[in-house]
Structure 1
Amino acid sequence: MKNITAEELKSRLSSGEKLNIVDVREPSEYAEININGKLVPLGKIMGMQFDDIEDLKDEEVIVHCKAGMRSMQACVFMEQAGFTNVVNLVGGMDAWKKLG
């Protein structure tokens, strides 16, 4: 698993790069603030329910949550399921919000 900072992610998004972002928070958290990632709550990932993102197994997938811990767990499960390029957003949405 690789890591990415909120600053690096923001820079890549600002440059118009098309990114595969997976948000592993709960729907209520996603409704409050999101960066247009695909919502796949951690419980689905831990249950190996990858239907929504199966086609991304060989692509870079940036995973985030609120603070970075759930996304780290999700990255481990995804790697075990054969995802080859998972990237954890360090600090999650907490770090993203600090950027303004």
Structure 2
Amino acid sequence: MKTMTAKEIENKVANGEQLNLIDVRGTDEVSEGHIPGAVNIPLHLLEFRMNELDKSKEYVMVCRSGGRSGQASQFLDQQGYEVINMEGGMMAWEGPVK
């Protein structure tokens, strides 16, 4: 499974790179603050909503600490998606939140 640190993702966002961020936390957690532009697909709904994702794109999976996004990354990788798990999750994120 590919991983990147929150700082590496933050630098890419700051440099204007277009990333496909998927936040797998619950909607209540996301409403408290998320990375601008991230799409919320709660982990428990990922299996049912993965058809919304494009296998030709790479996705960065985000959660609170990196555990749920790691599960999501493994699942999507097994389904043929290109995914990166953001290590440390939102607890390690120092960039802007919405």
TM-score, normalising length: structure 2: 0.89
Identity of aligned residues (%): 38
4+ residue segments displaced more than 6 Å = none
Q: Partner amino acid for 1:79?
A: D
Task: Answer yes or no: is the 8 Å Cα contact 1:22–1:63 preserved in 2.
Answer: yes
Which amino acid in structure 2 is aligned with residue 30 of structure 1?
V
Give, as a single letter, the amino acid of the residue that structure 2 aligns with 1:95.
A
The CA deviation at 1:52 is 2.5
Which amino acid in structure 2 is aligned with residue 92 of structure 1? G
Alignment partners' CA distance in 1, 2:70 and 2:5: 13
Using the alignment, how far apart are the partners of 2:8 and 2:91 within structure 1?
Answer: 15
Q: CA RMSD in A?
A: 1.5
Aligned length: 95
Unaligned segments of structure 1, at least 5 residues: none
Who is 1:44 aligned against? 45
| Matched AA of 2:70 | M
Contact 1:48–1:81 under 8 Å retained in 2:
no
TM-score normalized by the length of structure 1? 0.87
C-alpha separation in 1, matches of 2:28 and 2:51: 21
